[in-house]
Amino acid sequence: MIRVGIVGASGYSGMEAMRLLLRRKDIKVEAATASSSAGQRLDALAPGLAGRSDLVLEEFDAKRFEDLDLAFVALPSGEGMKVVPPLYDMGLRVIDLGGDFRLQSTQLYQQYYKLPHTAASLLGCAVYGLPELNKKTIAAARLIANPGCYATSAILGLLPALMHGIVEQKGIVITSASGTSGAGRKGSVDLSFSEVNENVKAYKVGSHQHVPEIETVLTSACKGPVTVSFVPHLLPITRGIYTTIHATLTQSIAQEDVLRLYSEYFEKAPFVRIKADIPQITSVTRTNYCDIGVYVQERTKQLIIMTVIDNLIKGAAGQAIQNMNIMLGLPEELGLES
């Protein structure tokens, strides 16, 4: 039996991880913390879990996790770096779903997250948890920086084209649109039904924290500088991300050749599906899949890439469990089959 705990179990990502983990007979969730909801039963906050768990949410205490095999940390950025060090020092495997360990540069972190980094000594221990890129290093890691949701959709869409050199590494334009759950469970006027319904709005133009994540991961993978322009939008839906990418082609290439290149690149990636038609969010909702469509636009010499994911699963909790499976030597699809 694998014994795990979740720090931040009352948020959307933490609750999604709990829902997925409670379906498994080989996993026992023994600790769940949530400071603002401490003392409440988990199934009182999530009625859909009634009869599946009798856990009571607790205040965080690292000692509560000392006999466990793995901890998921599903806290807002800035909070994760406060609890990851004591968990890591106990010898636990830790998967951080926030942004605190995704960037190796403390300067970039402070620039985009507007916070000083207080656990810089662990940055070199953290492995970027994108299984389609880093599966071998994930398997040997004790600390995983789970990728951001927008970053997942953009990086997966670009990796095959950049790694095969069929698009320029500079001047890439990424436009993404996300459901409101991507902002977390906090209350906000901007996220209220009246503001979001029947509306689409860009935000954090040029300053979103996933910009350096996308650029640094792709730069490292491609062994050369990758620069992107990224604009996220808020959609009047609960979950899902639609990302459209425009990249300049370096050569003349047929549509069917790009499709074959993408299919071969992700041949061993069980949760990436290459589509001959245009992907749509409803095809991946409540799954761990990333669907990718590509289109060669000969007139402008561009490759247009479209990706869709569920931001709470492949963009957060599902990918974290996929990483857990790899770390523990289990089939990466376990517990994530649709």
Secondary element (H or E) of residue 14: helix 12-21
- What is the C-alpha to C-alpha distance for residues 276 and 293, in angstroms, rounded to an integer? 6
225 near 219, Cβ under 8 Å? Answer: yes
- What is the C-alpha to C-alpha distance for residues 290 and 95, in angstroms, rounded to an integer? 21
Nearest to 7 by CA among 19, 21, 18, 20: 18
Phi, psi of 203 (to 5 degrees): -155, 160
Q: Identify the active-site residue in 125, 149, 222, 290.
A: 149
Does the annotation count 149 as an active-site position? yes
What sign does the CA torsion over 265, 267, 271, 276 have? positive
Q: What share of the chain is helix, strand, coil (3-state, %, to 5)?
A: 35, 20, 40
- What is the C-alpha to C-alpha distance for residues 80 and 320, in angstroms, rounded to an integer? 15
Q: How far apart are the first and last CA of the chain?
A: 23
Positions annotated as catalytic residues are: 149
